[in-house]
Amino acid sequence: MFEMLRTVMQNLFSRPATRLYPKEQREPFPSARGHIESVIENCIFCGLCQKRCPADCIVVDRAGKDWNLDPYRCIICGVCVEVCPTKAIVMSTYFRKPARMREPLTYHQEERGRPPKAKPGQDPGEAKDQM
Amino acid sequence: MIDNVVPVTRETLLAEAQRLADGGQRLISATAIDQGEYLEILYHFDKDLKLTHLKLEVKPGEEVPSISRVYFCAFIPENELKDLFGINISNIVIDYQGKFFLEDEAPRTPLLKSKPPEQGDPREVAR
Amino acid sequence: MDAWPIALAILLPVATALLAYIFRIRAARVLAVVVMAAGLMVSALALAGRGSFTYTPESVLGLPIDTLITILDLALLGYLVWIGLSMRRLSVVLLAGLQLAGLGYLEFWLRGSTPAVLPAEPAMVIDRLAVTMNLIISGVGSLVVLFALPYMDEFERRQKAMKTRQPRFFLFLLLFLGAMNGLVFSNNLLWLYFFWEATTFSSFMLITHTGAREALANGLRALWMNLLGGLAFVLALIFLARNAHIVSLRALAGWPLAGWPGWRGLPPIGSSPDLLLLPMGLLCFAAFTKAAQFPFQTWLTGAMVAPTPVSALLHSSTMVKAAVYLIIRLAPAFRGTTLGILVAVIGGFTFMAASTTAIGQANGKRVLAYSTIANLGLIIAMAGINTPQALSAALLIIIFHAISKALLFICVGTIEHGIRTRDIEEMEGLFYKMPMTTIITVVAMTSMMLPPFGVLIGKWLAIEASVRFPLLLPFVVLGSALTVVFWSKWLGRILTVSYHRKFRLEKLPLLISASMLVLAAAVVVASFGIASVFDFLAAPVVRGQFGIAGVVTPRADLATGMGEFIPWPIFLLIVLVLLAIPISFSRVKPADIRPPYLCGENAGEKPGTSFYSARDEINLTRTGNYYVTGVFGEASINRWAYPIAVGLLLLMIGVIKP
Amino acid sequence: MGFISTARVKSPWIMHFETGSCNGCAIEVFAALTPVYDLERFGILNTGNPKHADIMLVTGCVSFRAGRVLRNLYHQMPGPKAVVAIGVCALTGGIFHDCYNLAPGVDKVIPVDVYVPGCAARPEAIIAGTVMALDRLAGKAGPPNIAPGEPRRGLEEGRVVEIAPGNSDK
Amino acid sequence: MIGRTIATYGISPLWVTLATVVAAPAIGGLLTGIDRKLTARLQNRVGPPIWQPFHDLVKLWSKERITVNQVQLLYVYAHLFLMIASLVGLMLGQDLLMIFFIFAFSSVSLILGGFSVRSPYSRIGSQREIMQLMAYEPVLVLMAIGIYLATGSFFVHEIITSGNPLLYSLPLVFAAYAVILVVKLRKSPFDLSTAVHHVHQEVVKGLLTEYSGPYLGLIELANWYELVFLLALGGLFWATSLWGALLAAAVLFLFQVVVDTVSARVTWAWMLKFVWTVGLGLAAINIVWLYM
Amino acid sequence: MPGRTVIPFGPQHPVFPEPLQLRLTMEEERVIDAVPALGYMHRGIEQLAQTKDYAQNVFLMERVCGICSFMHALCYCQSVESLLGIEAPPRARFMRTIQAELGRLQSHYLWLGLVADACGFESLFMQAWRNREMIMDCQEAVSGSRVTISTCAIGGCRRDWDDGVLQELTRRLDDVERSMDAIAPVFFEDPLVKQRTVGAGIITKQEATLLGAVGPVARASGIVEDMRRLGYAAYDELDFKPVVETSCDSYARMIVRLRETFQAINLIRQALKKMPAGEVLNKWKGTPEGEAISRVEQPRGELMYYIRSNGGKNPERLRIRTPTLSNIPSLVKMLKGSRLSDVPVIALSIDSCISCTER
Ligand code: NFV
Ligand code: SF4
Ligand code: SF4
Ligand code: SF4
């Protein structure tokens, strides 16, 4: 009891350990695996990522030039990022923000050089810009 | 490959287990492998970091005596084998009757590659 | 004539008893008992309406009553000896035989030349205390007897009795009523002794009513313990007659009163009050046995094998009260003596020990028995310290305990017949089976332990009264705290209402529901009007003894000068809460009723009570009460309680040595 | 916001139930309660009892047995109530979506309000998800999500909550 | 305090009652908030805002009312009303013993509420609450007696006006009271029957498991009254001055907060042993000393 | 005479972070029988592993459990490596050791918090978990993820650490140790904690062997049993002695884990000092064949992977035997005769991890 008393008294007179998320946000570690994003313009639809993904959450539609990701199944292992020959998948250090709907993302490659487009209603963005 | 594999039969299993128990061996676990025709059951034992295995081959549906009277802790892997492979292990100290991990909605004997034996679902029997 | 209510009170039950025994027709018995109950109530009210008076009946059918009583007394003791012989119980033979000898010595050797009746000292004194007791005996007693009528029918059906033993049962039950009334009216100690033994006797006959082996064993235990007290009583009588020439209760209690005539006209001898300590101590000892104080508690718990009306009447509300009645009568004499303190301590100790033991009991009737013992102990403790407040507390507890406890026994008897067990554990969800009984039981239990009911107010008074008695205080404090424990446990169990079920009012025989309802109403009304009850019944007694009441009733409440208890706001609150019942029932829609939390595994038809567990089996949950038998079990309590109780008794005997 | 919805938003009590997965997310839920993240700042209490909870945090991929429990617990929560599914297991089954002993996804069993992705979901994400679920308590959110398809069997009479939009608004 | 005001200025009891009924929950709620904040700070956390309990209460009242049976509500009302009654009794300067009995009644109704459902956890909680009752009840009564012996009255208003602070004559009783305060508030190490605010308890929420929504809110409200009642009772030990009383109450309050944070839960057997030896012992020694 | 009480303890119960049910039959609060009911967390990983290829399975095995996830991957990789007949490069072996010990550290801290909570000691729980966050930060610093760190790969480690990471690790370790020193005495000496744990759930040495107890449960009963003595990863080059206590009760188990946290820090320091430079990943080709067993010492005890391959793309059979599975018989034994209030303490004293148990 007295050992604990010392600790709690120290606590009372020191700053709380709490990180006041969302008011204060810590910079993620540089190597942090937050979520993956596609740089769809780089994709060559080789299908490697689909083959190696342990959670089967990528579907590459070569014909329709669609790169489908179920971000709500992705376990953020980073294998796809590693195997992609063209660096068409990048790992963001920010975690994916919570959502009210659970629908897969489809990246469609219009033609090279155009920005990626997500399905309406979906925001693959980061938690950072949410709060 | 693994060493120290002692083949046993259904008759000698209990005696062998008892011998190992007397020798101060600790039961690690039991593993079943579906070989199509027959099931291979490996009982793993350990003493001073050295492994010993008992290897038993059974046909689907054959009754296997439980070693849980020798090693109380065997009831866990045995119930597991009963659930996942439908191995007919009799006389388990705490018998979950095929409902150890799986409940009614789950598929029967999911790890068995062949068709489950025709002796009826242990879960049905339990009910 | 003045005396008709007295005659009615004593003789009517006796006559009815004989009638019921002789005419073995059920209808006749019922009629006779109903008439008797009415008669008793009338007589009790008549007596209550009158001031104190004395009365000395001369003779019956030409036989001097003194002689008659002597003869009956000897016959009774002789019969008891015979019982002892026929059951081969040496202790009974010995104790009854010794009493017989003592009585013979008293009557034949000590009797002077001619029996001169003493005009100065009446044989019967009817004062407020006697009236109070009479009201309890005749009021509560009659209700219990009425309850017994249908109860015994059911009882015999349950027992599968071949031949009805009801005539015998009612014979002793009603004889007891008569004897009890006689006891509280008697001033002549010899008479009192006779009635005392008569209650012992009928208690024995009623405990052994079924004739089962356990009943016989327990009956014999009750008998020898009570006979031990009887022996002490006789010894006290002999001592009083020989050395002090006193044979009247009033004289004994009022001693030393100058000019008071002694026995048979002789002046009391001996000048020191210490001289009387011995007989007084012996009488207290007799009272301890009868009130089942530790270490004699076992006879009363054993007596619970008797049919429930017996427990209700003899072993809680009346017979055992005879003992505390005697102590209250004697109390003025030993006020302020060491004997008084010791009596208080013994009572207080019993109060605490019995309350503690009750926690470890799962048998409903045994809980009631221990609670009775505890309350008797508290009353004795109060009588022992005998201050105005203490006396008020004692009287209040006598009154309220009698009503509540009789009601409780009736309820438990009814429950026992309803669910076939008296095990508290089995009373779960009683509300669905017997809603009315349950509610009344709840009222009764609440009245035993919670404000604003009489028993608790009595306890409050008792605590305030014992503040100045440090030796008694710890017992009273612990005892009253522990009382709550066993009651709330039991109460909780019967109040359990499980999930989603309909219920219907149970059908009870008219006499059972009537007696229950009347008693329940009496509990509530008397507690609400506790101030009037106190003013009418208790205050005169206290004032008679002390000149002051000690407790006043300024605002329909009780105030002691140290504190004040105002019950009616609490009543108001309770009524307020009760008004919430219809509201709460109407606001809860069926869809709002969800099964209880079972860690998410509710299962089965009644999702409230069962859950899935290993192998997806459906298991029933249950929750047992805590009895902590390792601490509160009889065996573990007795381990320390017996030595202490025996030690206290020895101490008392040491104090009274002349 | 009204008086009542303010209070609701400021005092969301949570209950956590793990429905069978790797525990990673369950432990992160715990971590969110501890000093460094301190959910209690938001007035959140971990009640551990469905009858007291406003928000149920569900982790794990809903094995059959746990599904039975999950639905029962949901039924015992008083409305308005919200459900936050945490971790990809609870969302779709994640890496386990092909396993035989589960019908992956919490929304197959009870309506879900907020999905918190991640494997494991970080405590910050859990906080963010819980805060998002407050809209439901304030009465501002649309109907919760239910996975299409047959309701799961094995739930006896009297325990089944009809899965219909708006159920948790009751 | 207020009792003295009545005694000296003759304020109508009705006003006192009203003021008590209104002010006590405000104070109690705030104190609960401070308690939670302080606990959080002692644990190196930020913790909820101080007025958090009020949010909780309003929220609970606005929730769907679900029950396990229809009669549960009854016990809640009884608990609440009787708790208010005991506080009002205290404020009106009534007989201390009577107040304690009403207080006990209030606890018993909560126990019965726990018993009234066929839910194992709630009933185990009730059983344990009975054990707690068994532990603290004798100490409370002894405390009343000690106060009587020191002041010659059971009336709170006379106790207040009786001269010396009670703490001079009853220091050990005060200590015993501090012990049972922790028991009564169900704080660690004696949080046996129910868990106070997010402690994980083997009996889930014990006694309160089956209460939810508005009913739970009422119990929470009763808890606030109870807190004020118990602290006011503590204040009685230095009732000669308002500041003294507040100080005594504050000391007790801080004591229970700190004890709550620095101790593990004990078993009820141990609690019984502890309270009956240490608590009763302290009180008894003090009282024996008063007799001498 | 006292009434029997039968209650479900779990699956949803505040003292269990995971679904596990104990059906307790009690007399008053004395447990006379406890029957565990499992199956709430069973997914069927052993079967799923047969459908994924060897590399993907690393990630699956990590997710057997989120608490001891790294060592699952490690053990799996070791078993595959021994099938393939390859070895991880030395630097990778040291990195594996460090991460394994970090995992042990956080797992023990997690447990210390939970057991404090089970004793009803909330602030101690908070303290333990606050300290655990520092270890989580270490983990995140070295791997980029808090829980499932996904750093192990067949043939070594996926990513090398640069000096910044190593320095960061050294610095944070000091913080961890300092904060640990502050609360360790509470576990060691607090009278109330001792009152709850000493004598609770005794399991003697003989019983422990027959019941198959492993890890801290066995070591607290005086059995010197520690798979790290097998010398996998870099353990053969580090200096350590298994922590053994002999009082056989929950207190001993607590002390074993507490001392192991200090030991873990020590091991990490040693490993950091001795860590060689070089490659971290050996490339491999082809499909393995045969059968192999690999065992590692998890925070909760011995973990065994049995793998059999017939040369296909996927393993033919993968058997995972986790420590908790072996400790549950001991739990059943310990619970008999305990008090209800001790059930959480005892149930936690084997540090049950149901997700491991049921896979
Ligand atoms: N340590 C560990 Fe595990 C493994 N393998 C085990 O029971 O935590 Ni989830
Ligand atoms: S691996 Fe890269 S390039 Fe190939 S399909 Fe995937 S994203 Fe496109
Ligand atoms: S991160 Fe892993 S799980 Fe997610 S898409 Fe890439 S490979 Fe699949
Ligand atoms: S989402 Fe990932 S970390 Fe969370 S429980 Fe599932 S597998 Fe574990």
C interface test, pick of F9, F22, F23 with most C CB neighbours within 10 Å: F23
Whether C600 and F29 lie within 8 Å, measured CB to CB:
no
Would you call C492 and E115 a contact, using CB atoms and an 8 Å cutoff? yes
Neighbours of F164 (CB within 10 A): 10
Q: Is residue A130 part of a domain?
A: no
CB D25 near ligand 4, within 6 Å: yes
Element (H, E) at D86: strand D82-86
User: How far, CA to CA in Å, does F20 sit from each of B31, D15, D96, F331?
Assistant: 23, 16, 20, 13
Q: How many domains does chain E have?
A: 1
CB atoms within 10 A of CB D90: 33
Instruction: Give me the pLDDT at residue C256, please.
Output: 44
Taking 70 as the pLDDT cut, the residues of chain A under it are 111-131
Closest CA to C444 of C387, C518, C507, C379: C518
Cβ(D117) – ligand 4 distance below 6 Å: no
| Overall residue count recorded for chain C in this entry | 658
pLDDT score for E225: 92
pLDDT above 50: residue C201: yes
| Mean pLDDT of all residues in C361-365 | 86
CA of E96: how far to CAs of C562, D54, E157, E226, in Å? 10, 41, 10, 15
Backbone angles phi, psi at B30, to 5 degrees: -130, 140
pLDDT of C401-436, one tens digit each? Answer: 999 999 999 898 888 888 888 888 888 878 878 888
Which residue's CA is the closest to the ligand 3 atom numbered 7?
A: A53
Report whether pLDDT(D56) > 60: yes
Tell me if A87 sits within 8 A of A44, measured CB to CB: no
- The pTM for the full model equals 0.90
Edge-to-edge strands of the sheet including D114-116? D14-18, D55-59, D82-86, D114-116
ipTM of the complex: 0.88
DSSP C372-417: HHHHHHHHHHHHHH--HHHHHHHHHHHHHHHHHHHHHHHHHHHHHH
pLDDT in the model for residue C260: 45
The stretches in chain E having pLDDT less than 70 are 1-10, 195-199
Between C441 and F352, residue with greater pLDDT: C441
Residue ranges in F89-162 assigned as alpha helix (H) = 90-118, 122-143
Whole-number Cα distances in Å, F118 to A64, F16, F208, F349 = 56, 9, 23, 10
Q: Do A75 and D107 touch (CB under 8 A)?
A: no
The answer, yes or no, to whether the previous bond of C567 is cis (omega within 30 of 0) is no
Q: In whole angstroms, what is the distance from residue E193 CA to residue E121 CA?
A: 9
**Cβ contact D128–A72 (<8 Å):** no
Q: Residue A88: give its domain's CATH number.
A: 3.30.70.3270
**Containing structural domain, residue B40:** 5-90
The Cα E130–Cα E124 span in angstroms is 10
Q: Which two tokens stand for residue F166?
A: 């190593």
Closest residue of chain A to D94, computed from CA coordinates: A73
Residues on chain D bordering chain A, Cβ-to-Cβ distance under 8 angstroms: 35-38, 41, 84, 88, 91-95, 97-98, 107, 112-119, 121-125, 127-129, 131-132, 141-142, 145
Q: Whose CA is nearest to atom 6 of ligand 4?
A: D89
Residue F60 pLDDT > 50: yes
What average pLDDT does range C121-128 have in this prediction?
Answer: 79
Instruction: Give mean pLDDT, residues D64-77.
Output: 83
Angstroms from C164 CA to nearest CA on chain B = 51
Question: Domain tally for chain B?
Answer: 1
Range of the domain at F200: 40-358
What is the residue range of E137's domain?
Answer: 2-291
Total residue length of chain E: 292
* Residue nearest ligand 2's atom 2 by CA: A84
Cα dihedral C247, C250, C256, C262 sign: negative
Q: Which residues contact F78 (CB under 8 A, 6 or more apart)?
A: F232, F294, F296, F305
Domain coordinates in residue numbering, chain D: 3-167
Give me the residues of A, 15-54, that contact E with CB < 8 A: 16-18, 20
Q: Does B22 touch chain F (CB under 8 A)?
A: no
Q: Ligand 3 center to residue A35 CA distance, Å?
A: 9
**Cα–Cα distance, C395 to C461 (Å, whole number):** 11
Atom of ligand 1 nearest to the CA of F301: 1
Nearest to C658 by CA among C280, C251, C247: C280
Mutate to test the pocket of ligand 1, among F300, F327, F357 (most ligand atoms within 8 A of CB): F300
Model confidence at C349, pLDDT cuts 50, 70, 90, reads very high
Burial classification of residue F204, based on how many CB atoms lie within 10 Å of its CB (0-12 exposed, 13-18 middle, 19 or more buried) = exposed
Reply yes or no on whether the pLDDT at D167 is more than 50.
no
Q: Is residue B75 part of a domain?
A: yes
φ, ψ for residue A60, nearest 5 deg: -100, 120
In a domain, A4, yes or no: no
Of D24, D69, D101, the CB nearest to F148: D24
Exposure on the CB side of residue E162, measured as CA atoms within 13 A? 24
pLDDT at E8: 54
pLDDT of C267 over the 70 cut: no
For ligand 2, whether the C-beta of A60 sits within 6 Å is: yes
Domain presence at residue C107: yes
Strand partners, A105: A69
Q: How far apart are CA E152 and CA E146, in angstroms?
A: 10
- For ligand 3, pick from A39, A76, A84, A92 the residue to mutate: most ligand atoms within 8 Å of CB: A76
* Ligand nearest the Cα atom of residue D24: 4
Task: Tell me the nearest-neighbour CA distance from D169 into chain C, angstroms.
Answer: 14
Residue B125: band (very low, low, confident or very high) from pLDDT cuts 50, 70, 90? very low
- Torsion sign over Cα C495, C498, C500, C502: negative
pLDDT in tens, C545-569: 787 877 888 777 888 878 888 888 8
Whether A19 is in a domain gets the answer no
Span F195-218, average pLDDT: 84
Q: Note whether D65 contacts F: Cβ–Cβ < 8 A.
A: yes
Q: Which domain holds residue C313?
A: 1-159+171-329
Q: What is the structure's pLDDT at C605?
A: 61
Contacts of D47 (CB under 8 A, 6+ apart): D13, D14, D15, D53, E198, E205, F14
Closest to B32 in 3D by CA, of B10, B58, B65: B58
Domain count across chain C = 2
Residue D148 pLDDT greater than 70, yes or no = no
Cα of F164 to nearest chain E Cα, Å? 30
Can you give the pLDDT at residue D161? 37
In a domain, B104, yes or no: no
Residue F349 lies in a domain: yes
Mean pLDDT of chain C: 82
Strands in C617-620's sheet, in edge-to-edge order, are: C602-603, C610-613, C617-620
Contact in structure between C293 and C346 (CB atoms under 8 Å):
yes
Report percent pLDDT > 90 for chain F: 0
Taking an 8 Å cut-off on Cβ atoms, the answer to whether C619 and F8 are in contact is yes
Strand partners, D14: D46, D55
Specify the DSSP element, H or E, that contains F302: strand F301-310
- Protein residue closest via CA to atom 7 of ligand 1: F324
Q: Which residues of F131-145 are buried (b: 16+ CB within 10 A; e: fewer)?
A: bbbbbbbbbbbbbbb
CB contact under 8 A, F329 and B73: yes
Contact D68 B107 (CB under 8 A): no
In a domain, C68, yes or no: yes
- Tell me: pLDDT of C172 over 70: yes
The residues that bridge with F157 in the sheet, in sequence order, are F152
* Residue at A34 is within a domain: no
Q: Tell me if chain D has a CB within 8 Å of the CB of B104.
A: yes
Q: Domain total for chain A? A: 1
Measuring CA to CA, which residue among C189, C380, C184 is closest to residue C279?
C189
Is-cis flag, bond preceding C64, omega within 30? Answer: no
In contact, D86 and D25? CB cutoff 8 Å: yes
Say if residues F31 and F5 touch (Cβ distance below 8 Å): no
Pairwise CB contact (< 8 Å): D68 & C594: no
| Residue C620: how many other CB atoms lie within 10 Å | 11
Q: How confident is the model at residue F209 (pLDDT cuts 50, 70, 90)?
A: confident
- The answer to whether the Cβ–Cβ distance between D156 and C603 falls below 8 Å is yes
The distance of Cα F226 from the centroid of its chain, to the nearest Å, equals: 12
The architecture CATH gives domain D3-167:
3-Layer(aba) Sandwich (3.40)
C164 domain residue, yes or no: no
Top-confidence range, A108-117, B27-36, C611-620: B27-36
Give the model's confidence band at C263: pLDDT under 50 very low, under 70 low, under 90 confident, else very high.
very low
